[in-house]
Amino acid sequence: MGVGIRVENLNAWYGPTHTLKDVSLHIPANRATALIGPSGCGKSTFVRCLNRMHETNPTARAEGTVMMGDLDIYKDAAPVEIRRRIGMVFQRPNPFPTMSIYDNVASGLKLNGFSKRRVLDEIVERSLKQAALWEEVKDDLKKKSGASLSGGQQQRLCIARALAVDPEVLLMDEPASALDPVSTSKIEDLIFQLKSQYTIVIVTHNMQQAARVAENTGFFLTGKLVEFAPTHKIFTMPSDKRTEDYITGRFG
């Protein structure tokens, strides 16, 4: 099951640049939460702070509190463990190109010490089914490489890979922006299904996508969280003029 995330006074820097300023919000469990805002507003930095990916950049640092359930992710656990529990899917599908479909999905498990063939088989099948890819690849699991799949299939493969290690939260950074409308629709359907089991945070430039998949939406601007509210409210009657100006295309 998914778990909620509570963020308090989160600040982040890249070198001297203060990219995230005093962000506080509560991401509810088993819901999809969308983050929107113009390029450079800090939304991607924010999600990278949630699973401590941000600190993989040597000039980057973050301060503040991020609680996943009762776990303080900056104090109580190692980054590797956090990244297992909070999976991430990126804008461009990034399957391991030389690995088979099967090995792509199993890679995280193997890194975590799983080696029993039967267990691996089961988890690979379950993950590919959850990612709505199983039917399309089940006959070629070990014959084809991840790179041989279409863009949309590759992205679902990456989702299956993220799900295989049994995370509680799934972060998606513009997961459909490089995909055609049909593949985008499949990813959105998938998000809908996955949120019964996982907490999902999706960064998107596509506001219709946010409106379609997310229960709550946050609007970021110049490193600050301007507004966080139920999605229907953000897109019909936002409280803040800046949110309204952005989503109606008056700037951004």
Site residues for another protein, window 113-152 (CB under 8 A)?
none
Question: Which segment (9-17, 19-27, 151-159, 231-239) binds another protein by CB under 8 A?
Answer: 231-239
Site residues for another protein, window 152-211 (CB under 8 A)?
207-208
d(C-alpha 29, C-alpha 200), whole Å: 8
Question: Which segment (18-26, 55-63, 80-88, 234-242) binds another protein by CB under 8 A?
Answer: 234-242
**Shortest reach from residue 39's CB to another protein, in Å:** 12
- 235 lies in the binding site for another protein (CB under 8 A): yes
Positions of E strands within the chain: 5-14, 17-27, 32-36, 60-68, 71-72, 86-89, 169-173, 199-203, 216-221, 224-230
List the structure tokens of 205: 């430039």
Taking every pair of Cα atoms in the chain, the longest distance, rounded to a whole number of angstroms, is: 56
- 20 lies in the binding site for another protein (CB under 8 A): no
The residue count for binding another protein (CB under 8 A) is 14
Rg (CA), the chain: 18
| Residue 66 · residue 7 · CB < 8 Å | yes
**Shortest reach from residue 250's CB to another protein, in Å:** 6
Catalog residues that contact another protein under the rule CB under 8 A: 207-208, 235-238, 243-244, 247-252
